[in-house]
Amino acid sequence: MSKQTGLGDAFWLDGYDLSGDVGALGRIGGGLAGTQDMTGINKSAMERAGLARDGALEWTSFFNPGTAAAHEVLSTLPFTNRIATYGRGTGLGSPAACLIGRQINYDPSRAADGSLTISVQALADGYGLEWGRQLTAGVRTDTGAANGASVDFGAVGSFGLQAWLHVTAFTGTDATIRLQQSSDDGGADAFANVTGGAFTQVTAGPTSERIQTARGQAVERYLRVVTSTSGGFSSLSFVVVVSVNPVSVVF
């Protein structure tokens, strides 16, 4: 794959599509919060141990007072966690960075030239920043139960997965969004439900959720998103991102 720019990106927060109101992301940070020096006096080089996982998303929004737009969504500064997702492009399988975190500020700035922008920061709470791949091509809209296209995650994983959902709009009674897997893209091995891979039933939007499977659970090579319903729906717009763990992880 060739080098890329950041053109054509997307940003979702708690099920709201703020892509058109976000002008820049200043930090998409993850990794360790720091290291602890553990060098014994009998050593000739430093020894360090990694500390807790951490992460942050920082972005600049334009002031938009419209319904479900930047000002209405961000100015509430909720005490509860928010789910934020940055999409590096909106193609099926494109990378995305996801964060469960606390929004700690809402700082509008009006420059002398009349420009009005808002600085926002969200700090990770419990999980750190997690990179995954999009199982929907940006926002996917289903008008009834449907099977999505699959994404090839390569080598089979043995340490479970995490998945994030943003429902941007919903019309209907209910919908269930779940992950399915296959070792050969549905050839001899038909797609089957991923254990622990179903999100909470959707009855309204916008909404968002993070789920994770068992930490030692096997994950097959191909994954897809399917929707189903018991009472019916006419429109379901949503985003799903999945991260398959290549090594054992602890949250």
User: 104 and 146: one domain?
Assistant: no
Alpha carbon separation from 126 to 28, 58, 248 (Å, rounded): 17, 18, 17
For residues 128-142, average pLDDT: 97
pLDDT of residue 58: 97
Q: Which two tokens stand for residue 1?
A: 């794959």
User: What span, in angstroms and rounded, lies between the C-alpha atoms of 165 and 227?
Assistant: 13
211 assigned to some structural domain: yes
Instruction: Single out the residue in 82, 101, 130 at which a domain terminates.
Output: 130
For residues 125-133, average pLDDT: 94
Residues 138 and 92 sit within 8 Å (Cβ to Cβ): no
Domain that includes residue 85, residue range? 10-35+48-130
For residues 131-151, average pLDDT: 97
For residues 105-110, average pLDDT: 96
pLDDT of residue 161: 96
- Angle at CA 83, nearest 5°, toward 28 and 86? 35
User: 125 and 20: one domain?
Assistant: yes
User: 155 and 121: one domain?
Assistant: no
User: Which segments of the chain does DSSP mark as H helices, in order?
Assistant: 70-74
Selection from 137, 147, 205, 139 nearest residue 171 by Cα: 205
Dihedral sign for Cα atoms in the order 79, 201, 197, 147: negative
User: 87 and 194: one domain?
Assistant: no
Instruction: Single out the residue in 80, 110, 130 at which a domain terminates.
Output: 130
pLDDT of residue 156: 78
Buried residues in 211-248 as b, exposed as e (16+ CB within 10 A) = bbbeeebebbbbbbbbbbbeeebeebbbbbbbbbbeee
Instruction: Single out the residue in 130, 159, 188 at which a domain terminates.
Output: 130
How many domains does the chain contain in total? 2
pLDDT of residue 203: 98
For residues 86-109, average pLDDT: 97
Whole-prediction pTM? 0.94
For residues 150-168, average pLDDT: 94
* Mean of the per-residue pLDDT values of the chain: 96
Which tens digits make up the pLDDT trace of 40-97? Answer: 999 999 999 988 889 999 999 999 999 999 999 999 999 999 999 999 999 999 999 9
Residues 31 and 42 sit within 8 Å (Cβ to Cβ): no
Cite the beta strand spans of the chain per DSSP E: 10-13, 16-17, 22-32, 35-37, 48-50, 53-62, 82-87, 95-103, 107-110, 116-124, 130-134, 140-142, 146-147, 151-152, 161-172, 176-182, 192-198, 207-212, 222-228, 233-244
pLDDT of residue 31: 86
For residues 174-185, average pLDDT: 97
Question: Between these two residues, 181 and 30, which has the higher pLDDT value?
Answer: 181
pLDDT of residue 183: 95
Residue 120 has pLDDT above 80, yes or no: yes
Selection from 196, 190, 178 nearest residue 222 by Cα: 190
For residues 229-239, average pLDDT: 98
Q: Which two tokens stand for residue 54?
A: 């951490």
User: What span, in angstroms and rounded, lies between the C-alpha atoms of 222 and 220?
Assistant: 6
Q: Look at the block and give the residue holding tokens 């968002």.
A: 208
Q: Which two tokens stand for residue 37?
A: 């020096």
pLDDT of residue 118: 97
Residues 141 and 176 sit within 8 Å (Cβ to Cβ): no
User: 101 and 183: one domain?
Assistant: no
pLDDT of residue 51: 87
61 assigned to some structural domain: yes
For residues 141-157, average pLDDT: 94
Residue 138 has pLDDT above 90, yes or no: yes
User: 200 and 153: one domain?
Assistant: yes
pLDDT of residue 41: 95
User: 106 and 26: one domain?
Assistant: yes
CATH classification at residue 80? 2.40.30
43 assigned to some structural domain: no
